[in-house]
Chain A
Amino acid sequence: MIAEARSLGRDARVEGADVVVVGTGAGGGMAMHDLALRGLSVVALEEGERHLPATFDQREDSMIPRLFQEMGGRTTHDHAIRVLQGRGVGGSTVHNTNLCKRTPPEILDLWAREHGVAGAGERDLRAVFESVERDLSVSEIPEASRNANNRILERGVRALGVRGGALSHNRVGCQGSGFCELGCFYDAKQNSAKVLVPRAVEAGARLFVGARVTRVLHDGRRVLGVAADALDDNGRVVSRFTVPARAVVLSASATASAALAIASDLPDPFGRAGRGLRLHPGAAVAGFFDERVEGWKGIPQSYECTELLDFAKGSDRRVWITTVFAHPIGAATNLPGFGAAHSATMRRYAHMAILTAMVHDESEGRVTVAADGAPELRYEMREGDREQLAAGLRLGARLLLAAGAREVIVPGTPLVRVTSDRGADAIVADLARPHAMPISSVHPLGTMSLGDDPRRSVVKSTGEHHAVRGLFVLDGSLFPTSIGVPPQISIYAFARHLAPHVADAASRGD
């Protein structure tokens, strides 16, 4: 059953739930799916709407407000980093570019060794990763589907003799339209919304959309359920309702799950909730080619350069390079300058190739709660991370030049123009200071981290809150550090890995 929360009526009480799942992205969708298929009575609450792919019209001005939190305008509190997070059934899996990479074994080892995470080593998770990849139809992106932008990256990698290769994805029936980040009209994404939520509903899960959870109900030792607002189409509160349950799963993302935990006054003697925010901050470098690239066509990301990516602790190679492309509004926003000069640059849009450098970040931010109840993201890149970003952009510039670019730009203040290998040295860490160049994040992580030491973590290795029995976190909040790769497979896998503990808690009912 899928219903609008506002149909519940005033002060309703939704009875009969073993488990309430808050959010329906990668973590929430997997939790719904696995718990419902185990026979538990699951109620899932989703703040946004249920998206129908047939209404995805491939236009930025109509899709970005629908698919993204805060209409796509969410930023860190100082507005220095744009943070793109999904909204609605499927969460960020509706707009993401479907990249599928497992959590690096070095990261899992680090969590076991230094963060007290038990039972989540590479061997423990291997079968989980395999089952997730099977359920989501993960496969390597065929070479024939590599678009011109990605071929340019491949050409650059080969010319410089650096490390790179093909990426994997979870698409079936892809038409190569290139509008993935605006939702897939062709419904080719094998994501939470398409694969997991429908199966969960078929197995008996009840999903309420337009339902914003305002508080986790608890007595300080045990979870009791949740309180939520029912919203109208404009996001206005029309009524309130509660869902009592023996177990509650927070899967609202590293920003909203932490904000909800803080707003719910959960016991937190060591002040850990909301801390440890990682963003994988990224920025772009653009190359101009004689030939038309038309980077908006085809699968946006199908090739990577991992030359500067090493997951060992303390590594000085912590930046991942891949392709990125934006439709006109995004491109115009991010290209430098304004007026006639900017319009002239936009004339060359079809001749641009764009790469992004994404930092496997060591900077730690924090989620707090704004006066209006929304998550507030406090994060400042440390010098080391700024240097990593600059190193990634320097290599990106060299890759583009090696692939035949006439000119490369980094849209910072000041604007950096590069036409020679040596010229790339002008790309320095200072460019990554706040507001000097467009920096964005699509992977907020951390904030409710795993670990068996309550002084350093919020939830146990089982995903259950250290102090409140029956309260679980199953989303990207769990990760004690940055993971340096796109996180969807890690989030799906940890939700599947920990879901049996939720089932146990819901069954024991203590």
Chain B
Amino acid sequence: MGLAALVATARRVVPGRRGARTHLGELVALSEAEARVVDAIAARLVAADDAPGSPPFPTPAETRVVEAVDKAIATLRPSVRRDVFALLAWVEHLAPFTRGHLRPFTELAPHEQDALLAGMATSALGDLRAGFEGLKSLVAMGHYRDPRVWAAIGYDGPLVPRGAAGGR
């Protein structure tokens, strides 16, 4: 299936109004339904490991991944943005069906969601592998910018304050 087909599919299932104030944050590009899909994907992609004694990873809800992804999507070229919306619609509505589920992605059990995402990551279809990498890249951007995540991986971070750094 090419991206054109995904886009065509998405046009039939675009869920709701884009840009809204939701419990996941004030959205710019995503609809609330799309934001819920991103939230569910992020929960699996950056699920924490079990490392007793190590600094814990914060959850993607704590690092506000959905808001960061939404903001990043808003800055994409319109054609790429459409592809991302199509991909989210595919993950939510069609991918579960291809694996025999009659529920959308957001209603699957975590292990079912993991199996679906792993299937995308190793799919024979280049578009799906690219789609997985794109989602992973967006979620990583939202999560791994957080100093609590840096503490968990032993990264001591930037040497200057966030934002306009001022004089030297």
Chain A interface residues (CB < 8 Å from chain B): 53-62, 65, 70-71, 73, 78-80, 177, 179, 185-187, 292, 296, 327-329, 331-333, 337-344, 346-347, 349-350, 370-372, 374, 413-414, 434-436, 438
The reply to whether B158 and A58 contact each other, CB–CB distance below 8 Å, is yes
B124 to chain A, nearest CB (A): 10
**Other-chain contact of A62, B54, B126, B140, B162 (Cβ < 8 Å):** B162
Question: Can you identify 9 A-B contacts, CB atoms within 8 angstroms?
Answer: A53-B168, A57-B163, A59-B162, A60-B144, A61-B145, A79-B126, A328-B144, A329-B144, A333-B141
The reply to whether A61 and B44 contact each other, CB–CB distance below 8 Å, is no
For chain B, residues 143 to 163, give those with C-beta under 8 angstroms from any C-beta of chain A: 143-145, 149-150, 152-155, 158-163
B109 to chain A, nearest CB (A): 14
A411 to chain B, nearest CB (A): 11
Interface stretch of the complex, out of B30-38, B69-77, B97-105: B69-77
The reply to whether B165 and A56 contact each other, CB–CB distance below 8 Å, is yes
Known contacts A78-B126, A374-B77, A438-B133, A58 near B160 by CB under 8 Å = yes
The reply to whether A340 and B165 contact each other, CB–CB distance below 8 Å, is no
B66 to chain A, nearest CB (A): 14
The reply to whether B165 and A55 contact each other, CB–CB distance below 8 Å, is yes
A58–B147 Cα distance when bound, in Å, is 13
Which chain A residues border B54 with CB–CB below 8 Å?
347
B139 to chain A, nearest CB (A): 9
Interface string of B116-136 (1 = CB under 8 A from A): 011001100011011001101
The reply to whether B165 and A57 contact each other, CB–CB distance below 8 Å, is yes
The reply to whether B145 and A59 contact each other, CB–CB distance below 8 Å, is yes
**Other-chain contact of A413, B122, B134, B145 (Cβ < 8 Å):** B122
The reply to whether B47 and A55 contact each other, CB–CB distance below 8 Å, is no
**Other-chain contact of B133, A53, A61, A329, A435 (Cβ < 8 Å):** A435
Among residues of A, the one whose C-beta sits closest to the C-beta of B78 is: A372
The answer to whether B20 has its CB under 8 Å from any CB of chain A is no
The reply to whether B155 and A347 contact each other, CB–CB distance below 8 Å, is no
**Other-chain contact of A349, B49, B133, B155, B165 (Cβ < 8 Å):** B155
The answer to whether B80 has its CB under 8 Å from any CB of chain A is yes
Residue with the highest number of chain A CB atoms closer than 10 Å, among B47, B80, B136, B144: B144
The reply to whether A79 and B163 contact each other, CB–CB distance below 8 Å, is no
Which chain A residues border B136 with CB–CB below 8 Å?
333, 338
Chain B interface residues (CB < 8 Å from chain A): 44-51, 54, 57, 68, 72, 75-80, 114, 117-118, 121-122, 126-127, 129-130, 133-134, 136-137, 140-145, 149-150, 152-155, 158-168
Which chain B residues border A56 with CB–CB below 8 Å?
160, 165
The reply to whether A54 and B143 contact each other, CB–CB distance below 8 Å, is no
Which chain B residues border A60 with CB–CB below 8 Å?
141, 144-145
The reply to whether A332 and B140 contact each other, CB–CB distance below 8 Å, is yes
A301–B88 Cα distance when bound, in Å, is 38
Known: A71-B72, A78-B126, A328-B149. 6 other contacts (CB 8 A): A61-B145, A329-B140, A329-B141, A338-B44, A340-B50, A370-B79
The reply to whether B168 and A341 contact each other, CB–CB distance below 8 Å, is no
Which chain A residues border B44 with CB–CB below 8 Å?
338-339
B129 to chain A, nearest CB (A): 4
A413–B126 Cα distance when bound, in Å, is 12
A383–B162 Cα distance when bound, in Å, is 44
A338–B46 Cα distance when bound, in Å, is 6
The reply to whether B165 and A344 contact each other, CB–CB distance below 8 Å, is no
**Other-chain contact of A58, B122, B129, B159 (Cβ < 8 Å):** B159
The reply to whether B141 and A340 contact each other, CB–CB distance below 8 Å, is no
A338–B114 Cα distance when bound, in Å, is 9
A127–B48 Cα distance when bound, in Å, is 57
The reply to whether A340 and B49 contact each other, CB–CB distance below 8 Å, is yes
**Other-chain contact of B75, A53, A65, A177, A331 (Cβ < 8 Å):** A65
A59–B145 Cα distance when bound, in Å, is 7
The reply to whether A344 and B49 contact each other, CB–CB distance below 8 Å, is yes
The reply to whether B154 and A350 contact each other, CB–CB distance below 8 Å, is yes
A60–B130 Cα distance when bound, in Å, is 22
Which chain A residues border B150 with CB–CB below 8 Å?
328
The reply to whether B130 and A79 contact each other, CB–CB distance below 8 Å, is yes
The reply to whether B79 and A57 contact each other, CB–CB distance below 8 Å, is no
A327–B154 Cα distance when bound, in Å, is 12
Among residues of B, the one whose C-beta sits closest to the C-beta of A436 is: B129
Which chain B residues border A332 with CB–CB below 8 Å?
46, 140, 143-144
**Other-chain contact of B137, A58, A59, A333 (Cβ < 8 Å):** A333
A425–B143 Cα distance when bound, in Å, is 35
A331–B78 Cα distance when bound, in Å, is 27
A70–B121 Cα distance when bound, in Å, is 24
Which chain B residues border A59 with CB–CB below 8 Å?
145, 158, 162
Known contacts A332-B140, A343-B57, A435-B130, A349 near B168 by CB under 8 Å = no
A19 to chain B, nearest CB (A): 31
Which chain A residues border B129 with CB–CB below 8 Å?
413, 435-436
A185–B78 Cα distance when bound, in Å, is 32
Which chain A residues border B78 with CB–CB below 8 Å?
372
A60–B79 Cα distance when bound, in Å, is 24
The reply to whether B45 and A338 contact each other, CB–CB distance below 8 Å, is yes
Among residues of A, the one whose C-beta sits closest to the C-beta of B163 is: A57
**Other-chain contact of A338, B117, B141, B168 (Cβ < 8 Å):** B117
Which chain A residues border B122 with CB–CB below 8 Å?
413-414
A177–B167 Cα distance when bound, in Å, is 17
Which chain B residues border A292 with CB–CB below 8 Å?
154
The reply to whether B140 and A371 contact each other, CB–CB distance below 8 Å, is no
